[in-house]
Chains A and B, each alone.
Chain A
Amino acid sequence: DADVTQTPRNRITKTGKRIMLECSQTKGHDRMYWYRQDPGLGLQLIYYSFDVKDINKGEISDGYSVSRQAQAKFSLSLESAIPNQTALYFCATSDTAGEQETQYFGPGTRLLVL
C-alpha cells in the first residue's frame, strides 16, 4: 500500500463549486504539505502543517483553505473553484526537521475547473 494517498485522483468541477481534496499518510510524519503544479512550472506551496495545531500559508494560499483533522490527514479545500485553479495537486509529508528532512509525495490529484 502507498504511504501517501490522495483522493480523488481526478476531478472535474464547475466554476463556483466547493471542492475538497484529501490526503492521508501512514508514514507517521508530523509535517504535511500541499503543492500545486502547473504545466511548465515547478511546484508551488499552498499550505503546510507541522502538526495538528500548526497550519501555515504558503506562497499561493489565496482561494484555498486546509484542515488537519489528524496527524495522518490533511485536506485542501477550494471554497469557490475558478478555472485558473485547474492544476495537478500534490500532498507531501516529511520526516525529521532540519538538514536531513525529506519530503515524500502522493500520486497527485488532477483537477479541472470548467
Chain B
Amino acid sequence: GDSVTQMEGPVTLSEEAFLTINCTYTATGYPSLFWYVQYPGEGLQLLLKATKADDKGSNKGFEATYRKETTSFHLEKGSVQVSDSAVYFCALRVYNQGGKLIFGQGTELSVKP
C-alpha cells in the first residue's frame, strides 16, 4: 500500500546550520506531496506542497522538490533558526483514495542558539 518514510529524529542543529530531512514514498498512483509542520502545543500547518514531478514547493525559506525517479521529497533549509524547532511531517495524497493524507511518522527538529 501507499506509505511515507521519514528520517528518524530528533535532529539537533545549531542556529544557521543547513537542514535536510529525508522523505521517501511509495504510491500506486500519482500523488501530491506535502510537508506539514507542528509547533509545540499546536496543530499541523501546511508548510509547502508539490503536485507533480519536478515541482518545487517553497515557503519560509524551506524547499522540497518532487523527485519521481527517486520517489523522494526531501525538505531543506539553508539556515535554520531557533524558531524552526518543531516536528515536521511528510505526507502524500493519492486522488483516487478519497483525498486522504498518508503521513510519515514525523521528524522532530531542535535548533540551539
Q: Which residues of A contact B (CB under 8 A)?
A: 4, 31, 33, 40-45, 48, 50, 56, 58, 90, 92, 94, 97-108
What residues of B have a CB within 8 angstroms of the CB of A106 in the complex?
43
Interface positions of B from 38 to 92, Cβ below 8 Å from A: 42-46, 49, 51-52, 89, 91
Chain B: interface size category: 20 to 34
Interface pairs A-B: 6 shortest CB-CB: A42-B103, A105-B43, A105-B44, A107-B43, A43-B103, A99-B51
What residues of A have a CB within 8 angstroms of the CB of B100 in the complex?
33, 45, 48, 58
Asked if B95 is at the interface (CB within 8 A of a chain A CB), the reply is: yes
* Binary flags per residue of B20-31, CB closer than 8 Å to A gives 1, else 0: 000000000000
Judging by beta carbons under 8 Å apart, are B105 and A101 in contact?
Answer: no
